[in-house]
Amino acid sequence: KNQVEQSPQSLIILEGKNCTLQCNYTVSPFSNLRWYKQDTGRGPVSLTIMTFSENTKSNGRYTATLDADTKQSSLHITASQLSDSASYICVVSTREINDYKLSFGAGTTVTVRA
Amino acid sequence: DTAVSQTPKYLVTQMGNDKSIKCEQNLGHDTMYWYKQDSKKFLKIMFSYNNKELIINETVPNRFSPKSPDKAHLNLHINSLELGDSAVYFCASSQDVGTRPYEQYFGPGTRLTVT
């Protein structure tokens, strides 16, 4: 079972609407959580990075939240645009002495329609 | 200037061949990575090098051998290619690996097709 679960797997929204993507994780010990946007045919681009002490971070119309107690994160997209159509990937990092791991979610594919 | 570049962008080859993918970053970063993204878009880390030393080595076949001649380059050599190796391979770099969350910058990807 993957240690980072994302939902929904895919969603379709109309341009201008808002949407929220979920990421639940069981990875431990927690170091940080990242959200990436990956356009078709391109490499992922970082949207936000949050550490244990941060519970919200924004990047333009993207706002990520983190609840380290419940091990949940969300990515909210406000006033969606056609260019928001992409895959959104949640990544959780752990860091122990001599051990550094990244755990990836399977991604949520967002399609924005006019 | 491209921050993280990979060559080639597309690679089509036959089973059993040996091939290499090259990666270069001009960001002055100390850490570089190789990722594999399968047909279901699931991204998996394969290797990571920090200052030319291997720090992450996930369970990948030993047919895959990364080589870091210097901090700016991390090449991936694959021996005896198999059909299951078909995927998109991404190179990435970050300033460092540590308790601070350093941002990773990804290359454009290399689509490998094994026939």
Q: Which residues of chain B lie closer than 8 angstroms to A86, CB-CB?
A: none
For B33, the closest chain A residue by CA position comes to A102
Q: Which residues of chain B lie closer than 8 angstroms to A50, CB-CB?
A: 101
Strand A108-113 vs strand A10-14: parallel, antiparallel, or unpaired?
Answer: parallel
- Percentage of the residues of chain A whose pLDDT score is greater than 70: 94
pLDDT at residue A99 in the model: 61
One-character DSSP codes across A23-88: EEE--SS--EEEEEEE-TTS--EEEEEEETT--EEEETTEEEEEETTTTEEEEEE-S--GGG-EEE
Q: What is the pLDDT of residues A18-67, one digit of tens each?
A: 999 999 999 888 888 999 999 998 999 999 999 888 999 999 999 999 99
d(C-alpha A34, C-alpha A64), whole Å: 9
Q: Is the peptide bond before A29 cis (omega within 30 degrees of 0)?
A: yes
- What does residue A22 show for φ and ψ, rounded to 5 degrees? -115, 150
pLDDT at residue A100 in the model: 67
CB contact under 8 A, B4 and A107: no
Q: Quick check: helix, strand or coil at residue A92?
A: strand
Q: Quick check: helix, strand or coil at residue B36?
A: strand
Q: Which residues of chain B lie closer than 8 angstroms to A32, CB-CB?
A: 101
Torsion, Cα A83 B103 A97 B67, to 10 degrees, reads 90
d(C-alpha B25, C-alpha B107), whole Å: 9
Q: Quick check: helix, strand or coil at residue B84?
A: helix
CB contact under 8 A, A32 and B106: no
pLDDT at residue B52 in the model: 77
CB contact under 8 A, B45 and A104: yes
Residue B2's Cβ-side half-sphere holds a number of Cα atoms within 13 Å equal to 15
- What does residue B25 show for φ and ψ, rounded to 5 degrees? -125, 140
Asked if pLDDT for residue A15 goes beyond 60, the answer is: yes
Split at pLDDT 50, 70, 90, the class of A97 is: low
pLDDT in tens, chain B (115 residues): 669 999 999 999 999 999 999 999 999 999 999 999 988 778 888 988 888 778 777 778 889 999 999 989 999 999 999 999 999 999 999 987 655 667 889 999 999 999 9
